[in-house]
Copies of this chain bind each other. A is one copy, B any other.
C-alpha cells in the first residue's frame, strides 16, 4: 500500500444485511425478556437436540441414488458454534450441476469475500478499463463539431479552433471538478451520490437515471459501431450483424463477470494500443506540419446551407462536447481502486483527462492544418491517418485500433452501471438484488441487467442503434451539471480551506455543462431527446416507489413494542405484533386426497408434532365421498375427518376457502396446512404431477397466520 491508510470496504458482501439500530436492539432486549417466561432454559433445550449442530462426528455421506455427487468435506468447525463453509460444490440434478460447471469454466472459481481487497485494481489497469469510453469519444467528437460548422460554409470552419479551446477549458474544469469531488466523497463520488447528498434525493435520482440511460446507450451504440466495422471488413457477414452484436455483448458479459481484474487484463491492451496510435498520429502529423512551417491548408469551398448563427455555434459546441462523455467513469469506481482509494482514483482521473486534452487538441489541430472537412464514407480520423501515413501498416493500425476502442467503450459502462445500481440499492431506490456481490466479487445482477437491456435494444433496432447517438449526450450532461451544482452547494455549506477556489472550479464546470445540456436538449428535443425526458421521469417515479416500499417493509419488520395489554389479539390487525412462543396456538390441518403412502406420511408428520390435528378431504362428488370414507375407516379413523363436497370440482379453491373460514373463526390460532408432495427425479416428470402445495399457498397467501407446508415423498421413477 502506498500509504498507511486502511482500505475501506464499500462494496461489502454484508450490505445485504444492514445492522439493527440501537433502538431496535433495545426493543429486542425487551422482547427477549418476554420469551424467558415459561420456557425451559437454553441449556436444557440444547441438550434435547437429537444431534450436534456443529456437525461433530459428521462424515460426508456415501453417494446415494438421489445425490450422486461425491461430497467433499464441506464445513470446518472454528468454534463449537461457528462453522466455515468451504467453496460451494453444486449439488442437485445433473442439469444444474452441468450449468454450474460450465459457469465455473467461463467465470473462474468463486472468490472469497476477503479477496475483495485483492480484487482492487492498480492505476495502470484502471486507466484502460475506465478510460476506453472517454478516449474513444475523440474518435467522433471533433468530427461531430465540424459537421455542424460546415453547414454554414467553409468560412465557419475557422471557428473550430476557438470552440475547441472552450471545450478544452470545459474538459479541464470538469476534470478538476471531479478531482475535488473524489476527495470530498472518497467512498464513491458518482453524480448520483453527490447530487443526492447536496441537492436532495430526487435530483440525485435524476443524475443516476441520466447516467443509467447513458450507459445502456453507450453499450448498444459502441457494440453496433464495432459490428459495422466488422461488416465493413467482411461484407459477407452483413446478414449476421445482430447475432455478431449479441456475441460481442456475450463476450463483454463473460469478461466482466470474471471480475474487475480479469476484465482489466482482458481489455487493457486495445486501449493502450489506441492511445499509442493516436499519439503517434499527432506527433508525426505535427512534425510534418512543422516542416511546412505550420502553414494551414484552407478547407475546400463549401456551399453554406445555413447561416452562421449563435445557435449553430452552440450546436457545434454541444456536439464537440460528446468528446468528453465517459469522463465521469472514475467517480463511481473509487472504491475499486487499491488503497488509498481516493488518491489513486484522482491520479488516474488526471491521467485520463490529460490524455483526453492532448488527443482532442492534437486532432483538432491536425484537422485545422490539413483543412479537412467531413466526407460521406470516410471519418475525419481516417482522413487524417491517410494524410499522415499515406500508405502502409500505420494507417491500418490506426483504423484497427479505432474500431477496437469503439467496441470497448462498452466496457466502461459494464464497470460503472452495476456500481451505480449498487449505490441506488443501498439507499433503497433499486431492488436489493443489486447489492449482491457475485461469485467473482462483481455485481453480477447489474452486469446481467445491462447485457439484457442492450441485447434487447440491439435486437429491436436490428443492430442500427447508431441512430440513438444524438440522445445520449443529454443524460451525461445532466449528470455532470447536477454533480457539479451539488459540489457548489457542498462548498457553500462546508466552507473548508480554499472553498472559494473549489467552488469557482465547480461553478465554471457546472455552468458550461449546463450550457451543453440545454443546447443538446433544445436542439435535439424533437429528434428524440423527449424520450430521455420521459425515461428520466419513469426511472425517478419507479425508484421512489421502490424506496417507499422498502421503507414500509422496514418499518413493518422493525421489532417494536406495544403496550402490554394490546399484545394479545393483534394478529389480524394491521399492526403485526411481536409474538411470544407461549402465545402461539396451533391447529394442524391435513388435506388428504387419497389414502396412499404420501398421505400417510403427511398424516404421520402432522400427528407427530403433538399439536391438535384433523384431516380434510375435498370430494368432487358424493360417490367419491363415500369411497373415501371407506378408505378412512379401513385405516382406522384415527383422526377427526371433515369431508367437503365441492360440486363444482374446485378442489384447491374449496380447500383454500375452508382454511380461510377456519382462520376467520379463530384468527388467533395459527393454522398449519400439511400437504404431501411427490418429489420426482426428472424435471419433465414434474409436469405430470399437480402443484397443490404451491397453488394452495398462493390462494391463502393473503391471510395472515396460515402456514402451508409440504411433506416430500420421494418416488424412484
Contact = CB atoms under 8 A, between A and B. Distances in A.
Nearest to A624: B14
Interface in A621-644: 621, 623-625, 627-628, 630-631, 634-644
Contacts of A91: 656-657, 660, 699, 702
A335 to B, nearest CB: 16
A310 interface: no
Contacts of A35: 635-636, 638
Interface in A546-603: 546, 548-550, 552-553, 556-560, 572, 574, 576, 578-587, 593-598, 600-601, 603
Q: State how many copies of this chain the complex holds.
A: 2
Contacts of A670: 605, 608
Nearest to A428: B688
Contacts of A61: 660, 664
A294 interface: no
A66 B605 CA distance: 31
Given A596-B559, A688-B432, A32 B635 contact: yes
B553 A717 contact: yes
Given A45-B612, A50-B585, A557 B627 contact: no
Nearest to A717: B552
A113 B639 contact: no
B621 A12 contact: yes
A628 B607 CA distance: 35
A605 B707 contact: yes
A701 B706 contact: no
A109 to B, nearest CB: 9
Interface stretch (A52-60, A159-167, A313-321): A52-60
Contacts of A679: 701-702, 704
Contacts of A666: 50-51
Residue among A574, A579, A648 with most chain B CB within 10 A: A648
A579 B553 contact: no
Given A553-B680, A556-B717, A111 B703 contact: no
A42 B374 CA distance: 94
A74 interface: yes
B636 A58 contact: no
A640 B580 contact: no
A36 B638 contact: yes
A7 interface: no
Contacts of A576: 597, 601, 713-714
A635 B36 CA distance: 10
Interface string A68-105: 00000011001001111101111111000000000000
A31 B600 contact: yes
Residue among A597, A644, A670 with most chain B CB within 10 A: A597
A233 interface: no
7 contacts: A39-B638, A49-B587, A58-B665, A64-B572, A111-B648, A553-B689, A707-B710
Please list the 10 inter-chain residue pairs (A to B) with the smallest Cβ-Cβ separation, ordered nearest first: A552-B717, A32-B636, A584-B608, A14-B624, A13-B620, A581-B607, A61-B664, A581-B608, A32-B635, A112-B647
Given A61-B664, A74-B661, 13 more contacts: A14-B624, A18-B594, A32-B634, A33-B636, A46-B639, A59-B664, A92-B702, A552-B717, A553-B717, A557-B678, A576-B597, A609-B611, A610-B611
